[in-house]
């Protein structure tokens, strides 16, 4: 690996998207029986870790943190330790599905609502016929249903567990149950990626991506899941991040 760069105490990977996929492929192919926890962190999550002690602990104990936001890339460049590119949860998921299609990897999808979960998995099955669906479950469950979901994942032993319960809740849920998820090889959160795959949300047009304006496209056009803060409220963290990483000395 090419090392990390610390942004507000968060150790971000310097690997490109393709290099990250190669590293995850090695983890899936290994026989060490250890769960590999990857976190996709943006400026909002990075700032939240400054005051949320549990989140800070989870980040420090994760196996890899990838830069899911242009703000992280710019902050690393400002620091003189450049990161080559963003590595978003959505792009990671698509690349892993491509590899899974070729290598017959198994995936378990946990999160979002029942309709989106079903539609996303149906489209994944159609687009990536070589992928094995180990299981799926929506993310609106209570404590009484949780043991059954964990037992289902334990029985399925997926190569990749995809969490779509929103950040940082997905990573906090994983932290709580990490020791129980025996047999899972790689786990990471994908935010609203299943919404895009299902067709509920349109993917960011290439021109917006080229201009590094995916955040603006989501802000203007993507719906917010029930119980989550509005995107306008969440984007208010960006000025604070810019000040902390690029202006304040």
End-to-end CA distance of the chain: 30
Of the options 3.30.70, 3.40.50, 3.40.5, 2.60.40, the CATH number for the domain spanning 4-198 = 3.40.50
Q: For residue 22, is pLDDT > 80?
A: yes
Quote the crossing angle between the two packed helices 17-29 and 89-103, to the nearest 10°: 50
Residue 31: per-residue pLDDT? 79
Contact assessment for residue 92 and residue 188, using Cβ atoms and an 8 Å cutoff = yes
What length does the chain have? 249
Among residues 79, 95, 44, 86, the alpha carbon closest in space to that of 213 is found at 86
Residue 95 Cα distances to 16, 156, 200, angstroms: 12, 22, 21
Q: For residue 222, is pLDDT > 70?
A: no
Query: If you average pLDDT over residues 8-34, what whole number do you get?
Result: 95
Ordered by start, the domain boundaries in the chain are 4-198
Residue 216: per-residue pLDDT? 56
CA distance 249 to 244: 8
Q: Six-digit token pair at 114?
A: 């029942």
CA distance 140 to 128: 26
Each residue of 88-109: pLDDT tens digit?
999 999 999 999 999 999 999 9
* Residue with the two structure tokens 């159609």: 126
Each residue of 108-164: pLDDT tens digit?
999 999 999 999 999 999 999 999 999 999 999 999 999 999 999 999 999 999 999
């Amino acid at each position: 690996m090419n090392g990390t760069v610390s942004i507000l105490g968060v150790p971000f990977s310097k690997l490109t998207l393709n290099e990250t996929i190669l590293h995850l492929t090695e983890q899936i192919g290994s026989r060490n029986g250890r769960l590999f926890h990857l976190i996709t962190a943006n400026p909002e999550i990075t700032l939240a870790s400054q005051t949320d002690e549990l989140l800070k602990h989870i980040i420090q104990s994760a196996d890899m943190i990838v830069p899911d936001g242009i703000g992280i890339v710019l902050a690393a460049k400002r620091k003189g330790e450049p990161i080559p590119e963003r590595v978003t949860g959505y792009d990671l998921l698509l690349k892993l599905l491509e590899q899974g299609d070729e290598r017959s990897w198994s995936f378990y999808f946990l999160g979002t609502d029942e309709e989106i979960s079903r539609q996303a998995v149906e489209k994944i099955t159609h687009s990536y016929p070589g992928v094995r669906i180990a299981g799926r479950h929506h993310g609106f469950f209570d404590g009484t249903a949780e043991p059954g979901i964990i037992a289902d994942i334990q029985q399925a032993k997926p190569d990749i567990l995809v969490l779509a319960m929103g950040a940082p809740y997905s990573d906090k849920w994983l932290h709580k149950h990490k020791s129980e998820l025996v047999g899972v090889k790689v786990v990471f959160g994908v935010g609203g990626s299943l919404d895009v795959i299902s067709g509920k949300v349109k993917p960011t047009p290439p021109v917006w991506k080229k201009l590094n304006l995916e955040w603006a496209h989501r802000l203007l056009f993507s719906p917010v899941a029930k119980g989550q803060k509005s995107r306008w409220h969440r984007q208010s963290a960006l000025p604070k991040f810019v000040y902390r990483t690029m202006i304040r000395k």
